[in-house]
Amino acid sequence: MSSIVITNPIIWADIPDIDMIRVGDAFYMVSTSMHSMPGCPIMKSINLKDWEIVNYVFDTFEDNDAHNLADGKGIYGKGSWASSLRYHNGIYYVCFSCNDMQQFYIYRTEDIENGNWERSVIKGLLHDPALLFDEDRVFVFSGNGNIYITELTADASEIKPDGIRQLLLEGERDGIGLRIEGCHAYKLNGYYYLFFIDWPQTGHGRRRELCYRSKELLGPYEYKVMLDDDLGYHNKGVAQGGIIDTPSGEWYAFLFQDHDAVGRIPCILPMTWQDGWPVIEGGGKTPVSFEANLPESSFQPIVISDEFDYEENKLALNWQWNHNPDNSRWSVTARPGYLRLETGQITDRVVLARNTLTQRTEGPACSGTAVLDVSHMKAGDHAGLVALQSQYGTVGIQAEDNGELYVVMGMNGGDGSMETVERTPYVGNQIYVKIDFDFRDSIDLAHFHYSADGSEWTPIGRPLQMKYTLDHFMGYRIGLFNYAAKQSGGYVDFDFFRYTKKA
């Protein structure tokens, strides 16, 4: 087998709270998806470097006003958090907590790439869970600072009535801002290993990765700092994750790093074992690149262009809706070769508009372009592209009562409503819109443009200073939107979405 070069980050996009497993020669990864639907993306790789989306755990997981963006707030910053992925006796398991529902969800399937998932729901939160199969017993480790162990039934469908459920260990308190959380659990070579992050207020003052171990399930546990490094990037600690082995017996740690507006990006680090402890190679530093004894592969990128040429009303896996979609009001078959977005509920801002269709953005820079047929908009409709986070920015068309059209660049006005930054008359039934994203060295600026022909572009408004804020807790996405401010039933047809990743 020839070696490959792995460069960190392996994906310069928002793939947070990652968990990985290996089954045979295939690696699978799951990550947090919060308010994006479908959710809990399953990604596949054969070399830990090249990943593609192969499935989702659920299309939607609750049907209520908050998940449907009908309560005036949505589930931003909530939804599905920090999934744990495991494989045991021919069954794949994913579990996570949902803050807005105050519930713990466990999904099971025999076919991780193509199968449907059966779910169980447990009342109450098991924060940042780690699922562990220990022979014929099943445990979840959870918590922040105080770490608890909860025993589940053998099929991992409910809490075992007479099983273990207790405080397991307490993380350090002195000089610690964020105490241990984000557990990943393993049983290897006679030890139980629990991996956590914490965030000291002393020393480097950044997130770091800890490893706890014990030969007994219930402890006592000892720990060591496994990694305290920022990959040379603004003191942003590379931390939170676990470990994985390859078919040839090499070991790697998988962690992620806060990268400001683009989100939380995953990294792979080579590791070895010393005296029963996992140790990052190279003196405990995150390598920019290294060789690995893994094969080259072909793969589908995480973010794609789309001409919307579909034979059935089903989108590529790269797309996710902002909250639950209204499936009666979108189509890629009503007009072949186009994505049709029809307006539904009335709103005055894109963050409360249903059927906004999104993909991630990527660093160091990227650009997304769409062309819209706007001839069927109704008065009050607003359609275009959005740079989506709490501090959002839009470029698109607004239709007025007299039938006139205006190109509008807008952004969050501070209370979530849209502030119109620039507005100019537009004549024509078709318009091209574009957003350029610049994440280099966390400059985090988005620039907005429009065009009548797709070749001569006019800047509009002002650059958006993108900010990663915890009320959304997600890196910036680019989205296609159409919402009604006055009356429902209008629609726009997107001819294509074209995406470019830039160096």
Q: What is the pLDDT of residue 283?
A: 85
Q: What is the pLDDT of residue 413?
A: 85
Same domain, 198 and 333: no
The three-point CA angle 492-498-501 to 5° equals 145
Q: Is the pLDDT of residue 342 over 70?
A: yes
Same domain, 420 and 496: yes
Mean per-residue pLDDT for 323-333? 98
Q: Is the pLDDT of residue 261 over 70?
A: yes
Same domain, 207 and 328: no
Show Cβ contacts of residue 329 under 8 Å, excluding neighbours closer than 6 positions: 341, 342, 343, 344, 354, 355
Q: What is the pLDDT of residue 383?
A: 98
CATH number for the domain that contains residue 431: 2.60.120.200
Same domain, 258 and 109: yes
As a whole number of angstroms, the distance between CA 102 and CA 125 comes to: 6
In-domain check, residue 457? yes
Same domain, 348 and 443: yes
Same domain, 233 and 376: no
Q: What is the pLDDT of residue 58?
A: 98
Q: What is the pLDDT of residue 418?
A: 93
Q: What is the pLDDT of residue 284?
A: 87
Same domain, 355 and 281: no
pLDDT tens profile 188-224: 999 999 999 999 999 999 999 999 999 999 999 999 9
| Residue 251 in tokens | 């070991």
As a whole number of angstroms, the distance between CA 384 and CA 358 comes to: 12
In-domain check, residue 427? yes
Q: What strand order describes the sheet that includes 146-152?
A: 130-134, 137-144, 146-152, 165-170
289 exposed, middle or buried (CB, 10 Å; 0-12, 13-18, 19+)?
exposed
As a whole number of angstroms, the distance between CA 272 and CA 336 comes to: 53
Q: What is the pLDDT of residue 415?
A: 85
pLDDT tens profile 129-168: 999 999 999 999 999 999 999 999 999 999 999 999 999 9
Amino acid at 435: I
Q: What is the pLDDT of residue 492?
A: 98
Same domain, 431 and 288: no
Q: Is the pLDDT of residue 477 over 70?
A: yes
As a whole number of angstroms, the distance between CA 129 and CA 54 comes to: 23
As a whole number of angstroms, the distance between CA 350 and CA 205 comes to: 37
Average pLDDT score, the chain: 97
C-beta of residue 302 within 8 angstroms of C-beta of residue 13 = yes
Give the catalytic positions in this structure: 17, 181
Mean per-residue pLDDT for 444-468? 97
What residue numbers bound the domain in which 419 lies?
320-502
Find how far residue 337's CA is from the centre of its chain.
28
What's the structural domain count of the chain? 2
Q: What is the DSSP letter of 447?
A: E
Q: What is the pLDDT of residue 60?
A: 98
Same domain, 273 and 369: no
Residue 35 backbone zone (phi > 0: left; psi -120 to 50: alpha; other: beta): alpha
Same domain, 228 and 361: no
CATH number for the domain that contains residue 62: 2.115.10.20
Same domain, 353 and 255: no
**Sign of the CA dihedral 300, 303, 306, 308?**
positive
As a whole number of angstroms, the distance between CA 253 and CA 314 comes to: 35
Which candidate, 412, 355, 369, places its Cα nearest to that of 388?
412
Residue 194 host element (H or E): strand 191-200
| Residue 399 in tokens | 């239709």
In-domain check, residue 99? yes
Beta-sheet strands, E only, within 392-490: 393-399, 405-412, 418-426, 430-438, 445-451, 458-459, 464-465, 477-484
Binning pLDDT at 50, 70 and 90, where does residue 1 land? low
Mean per-residue pLDDT for 240-269? 98
In-domain check, residue 297? no
In-domain check, residue 180? yes
In-domain check, residue 429? yes
Mean per-residue pLDDT for 410-434? 95
191-200/208-214 β-pairing = antiparallel
Same domain, 246 and 332: no
C-beta of residue 94 within 8 angstroms of C-beta of residue 40 = yes
Which candidate, 265, 322, 260, 264, places its Cα nearest to that of 467?
260
In-domain check, residue 354? yes
Mean per-residue pLDDT for 222-234? 97
pLDDT tens profile 390-414: 999 999 999 999 889 999 999 998 8
Show Cβ contacts of residue 313 under 8 Å, excluding neighbours closer than 6 positions: 331, 332, 333
In-domain check, residue 446? yes
Which candidate, 486, 484, 461, places its Cα nearest to that of 342?
484
39 exposed, middle or buried (CB, 10 Å; 0-12, 13-18, 19+)?
buried
Q: What is the dihedral angle through the alpha carbons of 67, 68, 72, 75, rounded to the nearest 10 degrees?
A: 20
Q: Is the pLDDT of residue 472 over 80?
A: yes
Q: Which of 188-192, 279-283, 467-471 has the lowest mean pLDDT?
A: 279-283
